[in-house]
């Protein structure tokens, strides 16, 4: 089934009876060439690119719940390529390029909206840091414009520019950044993978990883044993638990991150705005809700819900930046489980077990990474070699100390440094 304007019109005139399911609901087969554990954005994108770019078909994605029920459907949807360090810079640039052709490629409306991202700065020192970051972005081939205070005022006049503690000095503007509809990305990749023969198996929890003589041979699941030539672990907040099934202890902590949405309002915020000093960021959804969030809850947890101190912190930061937000009523808040790595950068790598591969450590920034991560992980799984854009995401950097990528000089948890 392909989507097109003509198809929408025809279906609208004929009672919408011609639409079919986006993907099959297959029974698991006894064996696959490749098993992907985790049907989030990264797992589904990996399966899609394995089929599309490498011609592999005998693949299963095993998801313990439903497709897109994890963080890929819980995030605040920001897509950007404004990273500064070598290693990260080229990877997120690669991912943004894939985003830009994604809707045509998947024939699916993921509502990718390049409305621009403004990172505010509030001191001379922070301006210097953002100027450096902007130069790195431009050198990488991406776009960055350093705005002074008036430049920010033209784009976001509703900010409190003269806040006593955090006066706005200016901002780093990234016009190609923006947002996308989070679960549509999962659905688009799922549909594309299914069309190419990948089995997407929901309600199938992996409970064990079978290893013989240092080589992976398959997985145990709530729907029986499945043999596999290769296994990819792509389970975000559950990475440590699933890796432990293979006897591995990962340098990953799982933390809660919360997000919030208000009642629908008329359009007022037409870019993404981030307030790093207060740890707050905001955009407005196409339905009109103000979508915003802040820092992680700062304790390890597998509960996908948050606590009140973090709620208070986010609301305070929002009020400091844009007092008008106090008039909006918050409708909902929710949490997701973040796979926090020590240096804030991810892992896309082999493990010490032959045939077992790992994709994790996305912290609170893995939504924008979905296309790039799937593309690079598929390359690694299919060829055995790291993709050039993800060459520095090695697991052993935490043991050797070589190649650490500490994006902000603070590690992954700003408040603890
Ligand atoms: C509140 C919030 C806001 C965020 N905002 C942004 C943002 O604005 N921009 C951005 O870039 N990123 C953001 N993120 C981060 C981003 O959502 C994640 O980094 C990314 O979605 C993680 O990858 P994923 O999509 O594959 O994870 P998930 O969707 O969590 O997928 C992992 C899947 O693995 C499955 N699984 C786990 N264990 C097993 C098992 N044993 N067997 C089978 N399946 C299993 C889970 O059920 C889950 O579906 C945010 C996250 C949250 C929570």
Cβ of 374 closer than 6 Å to ligand 1, yes or no, is: no
Instruction: Provide the whole-model pTM.
Output: 0.96
Which residue, by CA, sits nearest to atom 53 of ligand 1? Answer: 336
User: 321: CA distance to ligand 1 center in Å?
Assistant: 28
Residue 45, CA atoms < 13 Å, CB-side half-sphere: 29
Cβ of 301 closer than 6 Å to ligand 1, yes or no, is: no
Helices (H) and strands (E) in the chain, counts: 11, 18
Cβ of 337 closer than 6 Å to ligand 1, yes or no, is: no
Rounded Cα distance between 274 and 364, Å, is 14
User: 340: CA distance to ligand 1 center in Å?
Assistant: 12
Rounded Cα distance between 378 and 322, Å, is 42
Cβ of 118 closer than 6 Å to ligand 1, yes or no, is: no
Q: Computed from CA positions of residues 137, 268, 317, 332, in that sequence, does the dihedral angle turn out positive or negative?
A: negative
pLDDT of residue 408: 61
Atom of ligand 1 nearest to the CA of 78: 8
Cβ of 47 closer than 6 Å to ligand 1, yes or no, is: no
Instruction: Kindly give, in sequence order, each residue whose CB lies less than 8 Å from that of residue 332, ignoring residues fewer than 6 positions away.
Output: 260, 261
User: 162: CA distance to ligand 1 center in Å?
Assistant: 37
User: 150: CA distance to ligand 1 center in Å?
Assistant: 37
Find, among 369, 9, 38, 39, the residue nearest to 187 by Cα.
39
Angle at 341 between CA 340 and CA 345, to 5 degrees: 110
Cβ of 67 closer than 6 Å to ligand 1, yes or no, is: no
Atom of ligand 1 nearest to the CA of 221: 42
Within 10 angstroms of residue 303's Cβ, the number of other Cβ atoms is 11
Cβ of 206 closer than 6 Å to ligand 1, yes or no, is: yes
Cβ of 64 closer than 6 Å to ligand 1, yes or no, is: yes
User: 155: CA distance to ligand 1 center in Å?
Assistant: 31
Cβ of 69 closer than 6 Å to ligand 1, yes or no, is: yes
Positions of E strands within 213-362: 215-221, 224-233, 253-264, 272-275, 280-284, 289-300, 330-340, 347-350, 356-360
Cβ of 202 closer than 6 Å to ligand 1, yes or no, is: no
Which residue, by CA, sits nearest to atom 41 of ligand 1? Answer: 206
Cβ of 95 closer than 6 Å to ligand 1, yes or no, is: no
Question: How far, in Å, are 44, 72, 172, 363 from residue 413 at the CA level?
Answer: 28, 21, 22, 10
Angle at 336 between CA 292 and CA 79, to 5 degrees: 50
Angle at 67 between CA 26 and CA 231, to 5 degrees: 70
Rounded Cα distance between 234 and 49, Å, is 14
> Using an 8 Å Cβ cutoff, are 98 and 45 in contact?
no
Within 10 angstroms of residue 314's Cβ, the number of other Cβ atoms is 25
Find, among 335, 334, 339, the residue nearest to 242 by Cα.
339
Q: Which residue out of 366, 371, 377, 412 has the highest number of ligand 1 atoms within 8 Å of its CB and is therefore the one to mutate?
A: 366
User: DSSP H helical segments within 60-207, as ranges?
Assistant: 88-100, 102-106, 124-140, 149-155, 182-195
Q: What phi and psi values does residue 278 have, to the nearest 5 degrees? A: -95, -5
> Using an 8 Å Cβ cutoff, are 92 and 371 in contact?
no
pLDDT of residue 417: 37
Which residue, by CA, sits nearest to atom 18 of ligand 1? Answer: 366
Q: pLDDT in tens for each of the 417 residues of the chain?
A: 789 999 999 999 999 999 999 999 999 999 999 999 999 999 999 999 999 999 999 999 999 999 999 999 999 999 999 998 889 999 999 999 999 999 999 999 999 999 999 999 999 999 999 999 999 999 999 999 999 999 999 999 999 999 999 999 999 999 999 999 999 999 999 999 999 999 999 999 999 999 999 999 999 999 999 999 999 999 999 999 999 999 999 999 999 999 999 999 999 999 999 999 999 999 999 999 999 999 999 889 998 888 999 999 999 999 999 999 999 999 999 999 999 998 889 999 999 999 999 999 999 999 999 999 999 999 999 999 999 999 999 999 888 877 766 766 555 554 543
User: 241: CA distance to ligand 1 center in Å?
Assistant: 15
**Which tokens sit at 245?**
């099934």
Cβ of 42 closer than 6 Å to ligand 1, yes or no, is: yes
User: 236: CA distance to ligand 1 center in Å?
Assistant: 5
Find, among 315, 333, 327, the residue nearest to 158 by Cα.
327
Burial of 149 (0-12, 13-18, 19+ CB in 10 A): middle
Question: How far is C-alpha 198 from the chain's CA centre?
Answer: 22
Atom of ligand 1 nearest to the CA of 367: 11
């Amino acid at each position: 089934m392909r989507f097109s304007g003509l198809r929408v019109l025809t279906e609208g005139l004929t009672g919408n009876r011609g639409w079919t399911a986006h993907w099959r609901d297959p029974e698991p087969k006894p064996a696959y060439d490749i098993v992907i554990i985790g049907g989030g954005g990264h797992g589904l994108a990996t399966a899609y690119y394995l089929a599309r770019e490498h011609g592999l078909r005998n693949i299963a994605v095993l998801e313990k719940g439903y497709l897109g029920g994890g963080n890929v459907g819980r995030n605040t949807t920001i897509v950007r390529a404004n990273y500064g360090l070598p290693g990260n810079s080229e990877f997120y640039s690669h991912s943004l390029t894939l985003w830009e052709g994604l809707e045509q490629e998947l024939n699916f409306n993921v509502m990718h909206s390049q409305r621009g991202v403004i990172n505010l700065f509030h001191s001379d020192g922070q301006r210097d840091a953002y100027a450096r970051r902007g130069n790195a972005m431009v050198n990488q081939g991406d776009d960055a414009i350093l705005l002074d205070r008036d430049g920010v005022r033209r784009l976001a006049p509703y900010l409190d520019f003269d806040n006593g503690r955090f006066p706005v000095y200016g901002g780093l503007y990234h016009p190609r950044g923006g947002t996308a509809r989070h679960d549509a990305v999962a659905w688009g990749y799922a549909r594309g993978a299914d069309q190419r023969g990948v089995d997407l198996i929901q309600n199938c929890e992996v409970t064990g990883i079978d290893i013989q003589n240092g080589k992976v041979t398959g997985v145990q699941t709530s729907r029986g044993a499945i043999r596999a030539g290769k296994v990819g672990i792509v389970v975000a907040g559950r990475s440590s638990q699933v890796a432990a099934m293979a006897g591995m202890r990962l340098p990953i902590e799982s933390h809660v991150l919360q997000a919030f949405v208000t009642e629908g309002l008329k359009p007022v915020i037409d870019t993404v705005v981030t307030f790093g000093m207060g740890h707050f960021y905001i955009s407005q959804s196409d339905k009109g809700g103000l979508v915003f969030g802040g820092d992680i809850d700062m304790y390890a947890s597998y509960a996908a819900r948050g606590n009140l101190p973090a709620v208070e912190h986010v609301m305070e930061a929002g009020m400091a930046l844009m007092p008008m937000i106090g008039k909006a009523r918050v409708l909902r808040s929710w949490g997701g489980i973040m796979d926090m790595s020590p240096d804030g950068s991810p892992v896309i790598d082999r493990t010490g077990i032959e045939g077992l591969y790992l994709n994790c450590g996305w912290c609170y920034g893995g939504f924008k990474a979905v296309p790039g991560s799937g593309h690079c992980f598929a390359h690694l799984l299919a060829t055995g070699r790291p993709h050039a854009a993800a060459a520095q995401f090695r697991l052993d950097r935490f043991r050797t100390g070589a190649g650490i990528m500490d994006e902000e000089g603070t590690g992954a948890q700003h408040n603890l440094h």
